[in-house]
């Protein structure tokens, strides 16, 4: 949508035009406050800006627009990149997610753990008599602590996902039951403060209060008239058996990694308690926190050497790097960078040219001030303070307008694609690091302008300026 790029630009431009109209009033107020200052430089500079503000419209508009658009584009690039990181980690759950299995007592060729949490599969439903004759399936797993024996693995936590039916009052609703290791997950899993009303540690403490404790989204509470402290029952179907998992609602969590509200409600519970109610352990995923720069393939190979059976691997860092290498993404971010550099360069050149032409235009005025007794240092202070006030006004206004535009328009730039386009939502990131670089560029521009004006003042011919003034 081209309007998403055009509207923020027009928004900043409109605010800059309004600011230019208010600039004389601002300078007038500051000049009245500065009239008691003994130094002549700030008084002369503020009065000049207040009385001849039209002369400064061009450079002020240029600086304000450059800062505003630079702030917006830099923040947009940073937000898009952080949004990619958050969405990928939300999908994976941690640095690495391993889909693992264990040793099973079921006969070869049976449906296996793929039927876990899904109930009997089509064509596999057993009659009551056959179900009674079937023996229960048991699973054996190596301890999750085995993962910590591999170099590069800093933490590991189990995460089990089960399809279930949650009984709420007189009805039932399909939901995803997620079991976690509440202690280990805090050290491994991805989480953002806007996912819930409290911190991750506070949520895990609530799960620790009771084995049957559960976290549910606000939408589930509101839709069924539930409240904190209410009891719910989750019915999980495994193979041909159904198990009841009584749970107590102890908190609210609107988003949790690996599960999406678009797919239906979810319930977060203690994994050990869920396994206890199911009569044993069943296949689960393992979330890993790995050292930066570690090779996931080597980690997986080492884990398999320890006897762990890994079916699939999801590496968040690798997925992020692959997405960053896409040509269209690099093209967009590259275009933003080139546009910013071009606008900054043109602003610097334009301001320096304006400073030189302004000095030539005010040659007589400056010569008379020099003739009536102002020293070169005082004249340099006068012109330097004038340039400083002009640049600072444009920088402050441009930064404010850019931040405002970023918070207002960047949330609309989230890509509308895939089954879960808005999960998790963008958090606008203001690129203060890049903005400080722009400040440094404008600071260098100010120093160059002041140095150039000082050189012109030193070489000014006072007699020539006075004679020209007499002729006028």
Q: In this structure, are residues 249 and 183 in contact, taking their beta carbons and an 8 Å threshold?
A: no
> How many whole angstroms separate alpha carbon 72 and alpha carbon 406?
5
pLDDT one-digit tens code per residue, 157-192: 999 999 988 887 667 888 999 999 999 999 999 999
Q: In this structure, are residues 299 and 156 in contact, taking their beta carbons and an 8 Å threshold?
A: no
pTM (two decimals): 0.81
> How many whole angstroms separate alpha carbon 204 and alpha carbon 200?
6
Bridge partners (DSSP) listed for residue 168? 171
Write the DSSP string, 69-119.
Answer: HHHHHHHHHHHHHHHHHHHHHHHHSSSEEEEEE-EE-SPTTS-GGGGTTT-
Bridge partners (DSSP) listed for residue 161? 178
Residue corresponding to tokens 């007699």: 463
Residue 448: the pLDDT is 84
- Over residues 229-238, the mean pLDDT reads 88
Show the CA angle centred on residue 216, arms to residues 138 and 209, nearest 5°. Answer: 75
The contacts of residue 113 (CB under 8 Å, 6+ apart) are 101, 104, 139, 282, 283
The ranges assigned to domains in the chain are 3-90+325-471, 103-140+143-307
Instruction: For residue 368, give the nearest of 379, 357, 358, 377 by alpha carbon.
Output: 379
With 70 as the cut, is the pLDDT of residue 119 above it? no
> How many whole angstroms separate alpha carbon 385 and alpha carbon 378?
10
Residue corresponding to tokens 């908190």: 251
For residue 137, give the DSSP letter: P
Say which range, 155-169, 285-299, 304-318, 418-432, has the weakest mean pLDDT: 418-432
């Amino acid at each position: 949508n081209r309007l998403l790029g055009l509207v923020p630009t027009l928004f900043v431009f409109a605010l800059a035009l309004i600011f230019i109209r208010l600039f004389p009033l601002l300078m007038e107020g500051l000049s009245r406050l500065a009239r008691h200052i003994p130094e002549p430089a700030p008084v002369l500079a503020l009065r000049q800006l207040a009385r001849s503000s039209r002369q400064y419209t061009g450079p002020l508009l240029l600086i304000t627009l450059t800062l505003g658009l630079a702030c917006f584009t830099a923040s947009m690039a940073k937000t898009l990149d952080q949004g990619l990181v958050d969405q990928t980690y939300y999908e994976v759950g941690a640095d690495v997610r391993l889909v693992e299995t264990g040793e099973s007592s079921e006969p070869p060729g049976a449906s296996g753990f793929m039927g876990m949490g899904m109930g009997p599969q089509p064509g596999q439903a057993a009659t009551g008599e056959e179900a009674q004759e079937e023996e229960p399936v048991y699973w054996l797993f190596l301890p999750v602590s085995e993962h910590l024996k591999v170099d590069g693995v800093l933490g590991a936590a189990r995460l089990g996902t089960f399809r279930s039916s949650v009984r709420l009052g007189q009805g039932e609703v399909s939901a995803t039951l997620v079991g976690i290791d509440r202690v280990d997950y805090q050290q491994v899993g991805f989480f953002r403060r806007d996912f819930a009303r409290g911190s991750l540690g506070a949520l895990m403490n609530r799960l620790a209060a009771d084995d049957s404790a559960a976290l549910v989204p606000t939408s589930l509470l509101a839709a069924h008239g539930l409240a904190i402290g209410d009891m719910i029952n989750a019915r999980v179907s495994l193979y041909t058996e159904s198990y009841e998992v009584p749970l107590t609602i102890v908190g609210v969590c609107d988003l949790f990694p690996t599960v999406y509200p678009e797919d239906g409600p979810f319930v977060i519970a203690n994994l050990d308690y869920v396994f206890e109610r199911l009569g044993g352990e069943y296949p689960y995923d393992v979330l890993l926190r790995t050292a930066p720069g570690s090779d996931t393939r080597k980690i997986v190979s080492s884990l398999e050497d320890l006897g762990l059976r890994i079916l699939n691997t999801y590496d968040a860092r690798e997925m992020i790097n692959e997405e960053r290498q896409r040509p269209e993404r690099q093209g967009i971010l590259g275009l933003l960078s080139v546009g910013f550099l071009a606008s900054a360069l043109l602003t610097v050149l334009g301001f320096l040219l304006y400073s030189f032409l302004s000095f030539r235009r005010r040659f007589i005025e400056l010569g008379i001030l020099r003739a009536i007794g102002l020293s070169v240092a005082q004249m340099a202070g006068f012109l330097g303070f004038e340039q400083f006030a002009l640049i600072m006004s444009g920088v402050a206004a441009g930064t404010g307008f850019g931040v405002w535009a970023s918070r207002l328009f960047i949330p609309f730039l989230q890509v509308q694609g895939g089954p879960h386009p808005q999960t998790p939502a963008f958090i606008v990131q203001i690129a203060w690091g890049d903005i400080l670089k722009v400040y440094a560029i404008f600071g260098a521009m100010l120093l160059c302008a002041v140095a150039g004006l000082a050189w012109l003042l030193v070489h000014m011919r006072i007699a020539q300026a006075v004679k020209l003034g007499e002729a006028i």
